[in-house]
Amino acid sequence: MKRSSLSDWLEYQQGLNSKEIDLNLTRVEEVYNALNITLPKGNIFLVGGTNGKGTTVALIEDMLIQKGLKTGVYTSPHLINYNERVCVDKNPLSDTELVNSFEQIEQFRGAVPLTYFEFGTLAAFHLLAMHECDAWIIEVGLGGRLDATNIIQSDVSIITNIDLDHQEFLGDSIEEIAYEKAGIAKSNRPMIYGDTVAVSIIEKQANLVDAQLVVRDREFSIQKEANQFSWAGVEHTIEAIQIPEHWAQGEINNLATSLAAIESYNSSLLPTTELLNNILKDFFIPGRFELIKSGTNWVLDVAHNPAAAKNFRKRLNTLNIKQNNIMIFSMMKDKNLDLFINVFKDIISDWVVCKMNTERSYTTLELEKKLARLGIDNIKVMESTEEAFKYVENLEPISDNIIVSGSFELVGPAKQYLSEKR
């Protein structure tokens, strides 16, 4: 069957392997070796961790662009368009380029049943090589040790933090998850750890491959001084850093980790205070505490686990938020609803639940029952994301803020809905 469009190819990829997620490097390595992809001579950053991967990728990308490097970035999942996943100098690649790359992967795949993510990862690596990018910044998909992105020899491995998420794949404890995340360590290369939990686990895995471990609050730190921050690395410092207005500690730690990664790899690429503050002044990632004015204030955030929810709540506090807020809410079935909901209970007056356009979504009945069990009774049930967005827009009187959170699969449609109204 001839596949001509990007959507045709993406649909095809979803049916190649019976499992949506199948953590195993055998398949992807076989096809990767056949492709004979040319990697850049250095400047490969592999970014893992539970939360903050997207922020860390974007910060490193901005810093390297300011130093004149041509950057190639691979992230997942996307919010609206698949093209967002593969960018060169911040520009998403076209449908045509993606389709051409998919055709190459298909040619070399043979009978290997790649998963959707493996197929896309190989295509991303193929495209970044075709564009001859000076630096690659790659976001780990899930875990690390057995993630498809881990087939390349990165120059710097980064673990932003460790917390509970994806336990059915990575284990039920922080220690088990840390072991999986630390599997991206590379021999005689720096590995940056932006957290302070399970350090002994990370250290053990780093030592096994002779990676050079750099740990937050040990080899590097970031401190508040008056209304500014200062970062101290192994041999360098950057002072008078002006942190964006609505950042919380999670973003601040991600910044510190990004700077440590650059210092550990090539300190000449570190930004000056002026350059860094220029980056931070305009820093923005879609779907991460995204503020949109459309009748009222909308706040979109892809937080989807308890740790991310707590950090999002701290960012909401920077808005001097009161109690008259609506939350449009949905989550995937593998997520902890109780811990997520409890973070926001005291500031939400009305909850609107909806089923997302994926079989992995909780049903509206499941969401409604969970809220009711937690003592919440002001619940409106909508059968689709679009119904939910339209419903809250027509409420009178309007609330202080409409908060949309719980999943990429909810925030993406919200962002698209609001952009189409402008």
Identify whether 26 is part of a domain.
Answer: yes
What type of residue is 323?
Answer: Q
Q: Is the pLDDT of residue 188 over 80?
A: yes
Domain count, the chain: 2
Mean pLDDT of the 36-46 span: 96
The beta-strand segments (E) located in 129-179 are 135-139, 156-159
Mean pLDDT of 206-223: 98
| CA–CA distance, 334 with 327 (Å, rounded to integer) | 20
Residue 150: exposed, middle, or buried by beta-carbon count in 10 A (0-12, 13-18, 19+)? Answer: buried
The answer on 339 and 254 residing in a single domain is: no
- Give a yes or no: residue 342 inside a domain: yes
CATH number at residue 144: 3.40.1190.10
Nearest one of 266, 260, 210, 254 to 237, comparing CA atoms: 260
Q: What is the mean pLDDT of residues 290-294?
A: 94
Question: What range does the domain containing 364 cover?
Answer: 290-421
Average pLDDT of the chain to the nearest whole number: 96
Percent of the chain at pLDDT above 70? Answer: 100
Shared domain for 318 and 254, answered yes or no, is no
pTM: 0.97
Please write the tens of the pLDDT for every residue from 365-402: 999 999 999 999 999 999 999 999 999 988 877 788 99
Give the pLDDT mean for 66-86.
98
Q: Among residues 127, 191, 203, which one has the least CA distance to residue 160?
A: 191
Contact 388, 354 (CB under 8 A): yes
Q: Residues of the chain with pLDDT > 90: what percent?
A: 91
User: What are the pLDDT digits (tens) for 89-106?
Assistant: 999 999 999 999 999 999
Is residue 295 assigned to a domain? yes
Q: What is the CATH number of the domain that holds 413?
A: 3.90.190.20
What single-letter amino acid sits at 111? Answer: A
Flag whether 214 is in a domain: yes
Classified as helix, coil or strand, 367 is helix
The answer on 270 and 192 residing in a single domain is yes
Domain end (from 258, 281, 304): 281
Q: Could you tell me if residue 106 is inside a domain?
A: yes
What residue type is 136 in one-letter code? W
Asked which of 22-26, 134-138, 302-306 is least confident by mean pLDDT, the reply is 22-26
Determine the Cα–Cα distance for residues 366 and 377; give it in Å rounded to an integer: 14
Considering 281, 312, 328, which residue would you say is the last residue of a domain?
Answer: 281
- Range in 8-12, 113-117, 222-226 the model is least confident about: 222-226
Same domain, 309 and 232: no
Domain boundary among 281, 301, 328: 281
Same domain, residue pair 141 and 71: yes
Domain contains 132? yes
What pLDDT score was predicted for residue 332?
A: 96
Within 8 A by CB and 6+ apart from 380, the residues are 350, 351, 352, 353, 391
Handedness of CA 269, 275, 278, 280 (dihedral sign): positive
Residue 341: CA count within 13 A, CB half-sphere: 23
- With beta carbons less than 8 A apart as the criterion, state whether 376 and 345 touch: yes
Using one digit for the tens of pLDDT, what is the confidence trace for 108-142? 999 999 999 999 999 999 999 999 999 999 999 99
Domain assignment present for 1: no
Give residue 3's pLDDT band: very low, low, confident or very high (50, 70, 90). Answer: confident
* Judgement on whether residues 257 and 402 belong to the same structural domain of the protein: no
Q: List Cβ neighbours of 221 (8 Å cut-off, separation of 6 or more).
A: 231, 232, 256
Comparing C-alpha atoms, which of 330, 315, 303 is closest to residue 389? 330
- Band (pLDDT 50/70/90 cuts) for residue 422 is low
Phi first, then psi, for residue 296 (nearest 5°) are -135, -170
pLDDT at residue number 110? 95
In this predicted structure, the answer to whether residue 1 has a pLDDT above a threshold of 70 is: no
Whether residues 167 and 301 share a domain: the answer is no
How far apart (Å, rounded) are the C-alpha atoms in residues 410 and 140?
21
Flag whether 199 is in a domain. Answer: yes
**167 and 267 part of one domain:** yes
Per-residue pLDDT band for 18 (boundaries 50, 70, 90) equals: confident
Q: Listing from the earlier edge strand, what are the strands of the sheet with 237-241?
A: 221-225, 228-232, 237-241
Same domain? For 326 and 397 the reply is: yes
Backbone phi, then psi, for 212, in 5-degree steps? Answer: -95, 105
CA–CA separation, 122 and 159 (whole Å): 22
pLDDT computed for residue 322 by the predictor: 86
- Average pLDDT in the 200-212 region? 98
Q: Per-residue pLDDT for 411 more than 70?
A: yes
Quick one: 399 and 349 in the same domain? yes
User: Span 247-276, mean pLDDT?
Assistant: 98
Say whether both 276 and 295 belong to one domain: no
- Encoded amino acid at 145, one letter: R
Alpha helix (H) ranges present in 16-173? 26-35, 53-66, 95-109, 116-130, 167-170
**Helix (DSSP H) and strand (DSSP E) numbers for the chain:** 15, 17
Do 276 and 300 fall into the same domain?
A: no
Q: What average pLDDT score do residues 64-84 get?
A: 98
Pick from 94, 91, 147: nearest CA to 118: 147
Report pLDDT for 350. Answer: 95
CA distance 165 to 143: 10
